Amino acid sequence: MTVEGAIYFSRFSPLYSKAISNAIKELIENHHLYQNYEFVYPSKTDLVDALAYTMAGATSGYDQFNDPVEEMRRSAPNYYWRICDRGNPLRNTPNSTSHFFFEFEPASIKVFCSNCDRQEPFNIIHGEDFTQKFERDYRDTSGSIVQNFALAYECQSCRGFPEMFLIRRNADKLSVCGRSPIERLPVLKIIPKEVRKFYSDAHLAFNSGQVLAANFLLRTSVEQFLRVRTKLPESKDVSQLLDDYAASLDEDFKGRFPSLKNIYEVLSLDIHNAEGSEDVFLDADSSIREHFDARRVYKLE
Ligand SMILES: [Zn+2]
């Protein structure tokens, strides 16, 4: 890199660092295991502005910045990402295989803490690029960079065992490809306790992209609830269970709230066709919650 290039890079790199940090926060907070999230590079306008605001003598119009901006945009995907670790004396030692990198500082995140039983802010306590340890230039078959970051976050409130995330970067695609402990979801009090485990597992499956399994587990929540309420745990006749349960509800309730029979049938159709439709899951889930919430309002046991 020329001296001039290094000066330009020093103006551009804070934009990339911020974009990477924001992307990882968004990925962890709002995306589940294996869901892809596309990294958005700083725009041309942002890069031009970064030079215009900081370069002395920027008086002859924005055209003068065109070349360095285009060069940065072209080369940015080939830059490695490195975690800024202020406590690490080796942080300024370049990787032996890549001397060009964007350094970023993982931001605090807000996720569910099972100790505190609510959403809490978590601070980064350690992060590293595991792939860098192997001192090889890992690329996929199209020549794009592949990196795996391990990040550990600590709940600001309870400072319990850290939540750890494995983040994969493949070109512009980011995903959470591992998590320890597994994602825990807040328990919905309206879901009967006998079926909370199935209901919660259904959501974990959905969040991990296994929608067919999620629909099966959601249907299992309905079926197991019927067995408990109709006191026929051994029955092999699900239609009978659905009818018996419906007969136990008064007409006003049935006229106003989603029926478990409809929910069960829609989920069954999806399962038999091996579809795994996200819309089916979301509709059924919303109807199940509405049904159970109505039971709570009607004070049904
Ligand atoms: Zn906590």
Same domain, 216 and 255: yes
Q: What's the pTM?
A: 0.77
For ligand 1, the distance from its centroid to the CA atom of residue 175, given in whole angstroms, is 24
Cα–ligand 1 centroid distance for 101 (angstroms): 34
Amino acid at 256: R
- How many Å apart are CA 298 and CA 248, to the nearest integer? 13
Distance CA 262, CA 145 (A): 48
- Is residue 187 assigned to a domain? no
Domain count, the chain: 2
**CA 27 to ligand 1 center in whole angstroms:** 20
- 154 CA to centre of ligand 1 in angstroms: 8
Same domain, 209 and 233: yes
Residues 10 and 135 reside in one and the same domain: yes
Helix axes 66-75, 3-30, angle to 10 degrees: 50
Domain boundary among the residues 131, 146, 180 is at 180
Distance of CA 155 from the midpoint of ligand 1 (Å): 5
- If asked whether residues 242 and 290 sit together in one domain, one would say yes
Give residue 153 CA to ligand 1 midpoint distance, Å.
Answer: 11
Q: Domain of 125?
A: 3-180
Do residues 85 and 131 both lie within one domain?
Answer: yes
Q: What is the pLDDT of residue 94?
A: 46
**pLDDT value of residue 59:** 54
Position 192 scores a pLDDT of 92
Say what the pLDDT of residue 135 is.
Answer: 74
Per-residue pLDDT in tens (0 to 9) along the chain, 301 residues: 677 778 888 889 999 999 999 999 999 999 988 889 999 999 999 998 888 876 655 555 567 778 889 999 999 999 999 998 665 544 444 444 446 789 999 999 999 998 998 899 999 999 988 887 777 788 889 999 999 999 999 999 999 999 999 999 999 999 999 999 888 787 788 899 999 999 999 998 998 889 999 999 999 999 999 998 888 778 888 999 999 999 999 899 999 999 999 999 999 999 999 999 999 999 999 999 999 999 988 888 7
Residues 151, 70 share a domain: yes
The Å distance, Cα 174 to ligand 1 centre, comes to 26
32 Cα to the center of ligand 1, angstroms: 20
Tell me whether residue 171 is in a domain.
yes
Measured in Å, residue 215 CA sits from the centre of ligand 1 at 31
How many angstroms does the Cα of residue 279 sit away from the middle of ligand 1?
Answer: 33
- What is the distance in A from the centroid of ligand 1 to the CA of 152? 14
Ligand 1: centre distance to CA 185 (Å): 14
pLDDT for res 66: 83
How many A from CA of 182 to the centre of ligand 1? 15
> What spacing in Å lies between the alpha carbon of 88 and ligand 1's midpoint?
26
220 shares its domain with 176? no
